[in-house]
Chain A
Amino acid sequence: MIRWNRFFLIATPLVLLWAAGHFFLDRGLKMAVEQFGTAANGARVDVRGLTTRFWRLSLDIRGVAVADADAPMTNLVEIEKIRFRLAPKPLFWRRFIIEEATVTGVRTGTARRVSGALPHRGAGAEKTKEVADAAVGNLKTAYDPSRRISTSSLTAYVYLEKERARLTTRADEWKTRADSLDVKALTEKTQDFIKKIQGDGFSGLEGAAKAQKYLKEAKGLRAELKTARGTVKDLKTSLSNELGRSRETLKEIDRLRREDVERLVGDVKGALSAEGALKGLLGPAWTAKLEKALGLFEKTRKLSGPSEPPPPEPTARFPRGRDIAFPFHHRWPVFHLKHAGFSGQTPDGLSYTGELRDAASDPVLLGRPAVLTAAGSTENRALNLKGTFDFTTATPRQALTGSYTGLPLGGLSLGHLQGPVALTAGRGEVRADVSVTGDALGGRVDLRGENLTVNHESPQDADRLTQSLHAVLSGVNKASIGVGLGGTLRTPRFSLNSTLDDQLRNALKGALDQEVARLRADAEKRVAALLDKETEKLSDLVNGRAGDALAKVGLGEKDLGGLDERLEKALRDLTGKSGATALPDKLQKLFKKK
């Protein structure tokens, strides 16, 4: 007899598992692919459909569209269909070995109907756009003095601001110190004493005694005069020194101001040189393309790089934890794509086919590098590409060599020179040989263009410089541009050279001096507008306060001046009147100059 109760107990979870797989597995996997892809790409990754076939161990992904993070209305790559076929045996050990994959309908640079931008892009992306805009933007606008010169960017202004408070305090101190100087009372007292001596009579012993008394009083006055004169002298010296130093500060502001103008003009000159114009015209476009390509190197390195050993001390990383590896008797990495064949079209319609071999999560275990090849040709065009991604040794090495002949250049946007510059016709040849060994980046990318037509939308009222550039660009029908790569993946260095250099240099020769002179005048005007008023105010403050203080000190000095002599003379007269013989010696001693 069948125990139905027990049968249902066993059947229910199995039916539930089957239903979950049947109804939700494909949907869940599609969502997972989209989410992980979007997170890795930085822009939307859409999948039209996904089907798993359990018994055949295959997975079909249809309509994959990977949006370009920098141009959200364009797809970086669009794939019609991907089919993976898994090897069954390794699955028992949780190893995903893809025996064969076919990727068909690969196209790049296709248009999207909806934007692939993510709602919240990082500040880094905005900053990159800002820098790119500044680089591509009009050179002269970018170096416009009214934009580049601000109070914070001027060293002279920053210095002035710093010194303003100090000089104001110092000027106030001068006034206080000069005001506190009072020699008038002493002058009057001395003058009264002289008058008294001159008007008094001295006779006999009584006269001699009086004279002695006056002599004593004169000694006291002399000491007071000496102290007052010393004070005035000190104050004068101190004021003169400080005033000198303050004037040095004003001179320093002026020197820094000239330096600021020179620095700005230097920048402008650099940007308006033939090399600067070439960099402005071609640099941003090429740099952006190369940086994007180099980003792919880094991505493959992250995906296929050798896994790092777990740290010796456990650290909290909930909920994921860390996977510890143990010896395994098969040479199976966790993921291994043995072979993938792909076919597609370039944006200009050249069909190609290619293959990728041995992409693995643990290349050291596999012992073979991943190799990518692609080729396609028509009557007048040919594409050849070979990439080797070798992570089997301690020093990873990625190399990419390729060529594309007969590349249509019409529609290629370049930079901006008072108006957009683009190629409207022409064919070219690109040759690339780039390698990354460890961190070191090296190689070259060369583009040679022929039968070129350059379109430069120059405005009607363009200045002489732009007109010269326009004339050069209109006459260009062939050019070669080379980009040398150096540095590291994280901080790549690009050196740009081109046959356009000489043509631009000749054209700019005359126009450049005139333009730089005009920009220098603009810069000086702008600096003057920001600095002159403030410097004048500070100068007035220093000179005004110092002048007042020095005038006061001068008056005091004048008041004291000659009092000594007059006092001496009065006392000499006194000795004559009193007839005392002992007095002249004492007087001599009193007024003896030390």
Chain B
Amino acid sequence: MLFLKILAGFLQALNAKATPRALAGGVALGALIGLSPTGGVQNIVLLLLIFLLPVNKSASVVSAVAFAAIAWPAGPIFDRLGFTLLTAQSLKGLWTLLTNTPVVPWTRFNNTVVLGGLATGLLVFVPIFLGTVWAVQRYRERVLATAAKWRLFQIIRASKFYALYETFS
């Protein structure tokens, strides 16, 4: 039920309530959390950022769940990527410095899966942000206007989920 509420809130924000940039920020930060499901203290920092920055919270939760679902089967890839980064000679100085820096070890950056997930998340952060802004704009311009006429949309409007969605309006 809680997740349905969050999903309804996300759809409400997607359709009109939030700005495309707020939605994109929420999705991108949620993706970072979702891609490092076994991560450490960095996830708490990301959570704080979600609360502090003007981003859409529902979008963050939905995005975190969706990216965590993707991250699970991608584990071996993260492991390989993390291993490559952690064993690269050129980066050894950086990792040693981080190991000896207080608090940083709590991020568990020296774990292959955590670093692989975090690196992937950072790599896709900007593309996700920009892609989401573009997609939300296109969605509102093209899809939302014509979707009201679709039979599927009319069926959804008759469902309980839509009633829940309406409560967020």
Residue positions of A touching B, CB distance < 8 A: 9-10, 12-13, 17, 92-94, 310, 314-329
Contacts and interface: CB of A to CB of B under 8 A. Distances in A.
B131 interface: no
Given A93-B100, A326-B99, 20 more contacts: A9-B51, A13-B47, A93-B105, A94-B106, A314-B80, A316-B76, A316-B80, A318-B78, A318-B79, A319-B37, A319-B72, A320-B38, A324-B95, A324-B110, A325-B110, A326-B92, A327-B96, A327-B99, A328-B100, A329-B100
B51 A321 contact: no
A358 B38 CA distance: 30
Contact of A321 (B79, B95, B106): B79
A94 B105 CA distance: 6
Contacts of A318: 72, 75-76, 78-79, 113
Nearest to B87: A324
Nearest to B40: A94
Interface in B78-132: 78-80, 82-84, 86-87, 92, 95-96, 99-100, 102-103, 105-106, 108, 110-114, 116
A377 to B, nearest CB: 46
A310 B99 CA distance: 17
A326 B72 contact: no
23 contacts: A10-B52, A13-B47, A13-B51, A17-B44, A92-B103, A310-B83, A314-B79, A314-B83, A314-B112, A315-B79, A316-B80, A317-B113, A318-B78, A318-B113, A319-B38, A321-B112, A322-B111, A323-B112, A326-B99, A326-B110, A327-B96, A328-B99, A329-B100
Contacts of B112: 314, 321-324
A321 B115 CA distance: 10
B10 to A, nearest CB: 19
B150 to A, nearest CB: 38
B102 A321 contact: no
Given A319-B37, A319-B38, A9 B52 contact: yes
Interface centre among B80, B86, B87, B108 (most CB of A within 10 A): B86
B144 to A, nearest CB: 29
B152 interface: no
A282 B32 CA distance: 63
A92 B51 CA distance: 25
B91 to A, nearest CB: 10
Interface centre among B37, B44, B103, B112 (most CB of A within 10 A): B112
Going nearest first, the 8 A-B pairs with the smallest beta carbon separation are: A318-B75, A321-B113, A316-B76, A92-B102, A314-B83, A94-B105, A321-B112, A326-B99
Interface string B29-49: 000000001100000100110
Contacts of B116: 321
Contacts of B75: 316, 318-319, 321
Contacts of A327: 96, 99-100
Nearest to B107: A94
A163 B92 CA distance: 72
Contacts of B48: 13
B157 to A, nearest CB: 34
Nearest to B82: A321
Contacts of B82: 321
Interface of B: 37-38, 44, 47-48, 51-52, 72, 75-76, 78-80, 82-84, 86-87, 92, 95-96, 99-100, 102-103, 105-106, 108, 110-114, 116
A323 B79 contact: no
B52 A321 contact: no
Nearest to B98: A326
Nearest to A311: B83
A4 to B, nearest CB: 15
Nearest to B76: A316
A325 to B, nearest CB: 7
A279 B163 CA distance: 78
B82 to A, nearest CB: 6
Nearest to A8: B51
Nearest to B38: A319
Interface centre among A93, A94, A315, A325 (most CB of B within 10 A): A94
A528 to B, nearest CB: 64
B115 to A, nearest CB: 8
Contacts of A13: 47-48, 51
B113 to A, nearest CB: 3
A12 B51 CA distance: 8
A328 B100 CA distance: 6
Contact of A320 (B72, B80, B83, B113): B113
Nearest to B106: A94
Contacts of A328: 99-100
B117 to A, nearest CB: 9
Nearest to A10: B52
A515 to B, nearest CB: 65
A10 B50 CA distance: 10
A10 B37 CA distance: 24
B62 to A, nearest CB: 19
Contacts of A10: 51-52
A319 B106 CA distance: 17
B6 to A, nearest CB: 16
A325 B109 CA distance: 11
A257 to B, nearest CB: 60
Contacts of B79: 314-318, 321-322
A486 to B, nearest CB: 42
Nearest to B53: A9
A331 to B, nearest CB: 13
A93 B96 contact: no
Contacts of A317: 79, 113
Nearest to B51: A13
Interface centre among A12, A324, A328 (most CB of B within 10 A): A324
Contacts of A93: 99-100, 102, 105
A287 to B, nearest CB: 43
Contacts of B44: 17
B161 to A, nearest CB: 27
B58 to A, nearest CB: 15
Contacts of A315: 79
B114 A321 contact: yes
A319 B113 contact: yes
A324 B86 contact: yes
A329 B108 CA distance: 18
Nearest to A14: B48
A320 to B, nearest CB: 7
A317 B76 CA distance: 7
B146 to A, nearest CB: 37
Contacts of A329: 100
B148 to A, nearest CB: 34
Contacts of A321: 38, 75, 78-79, 82, 111-114, 116
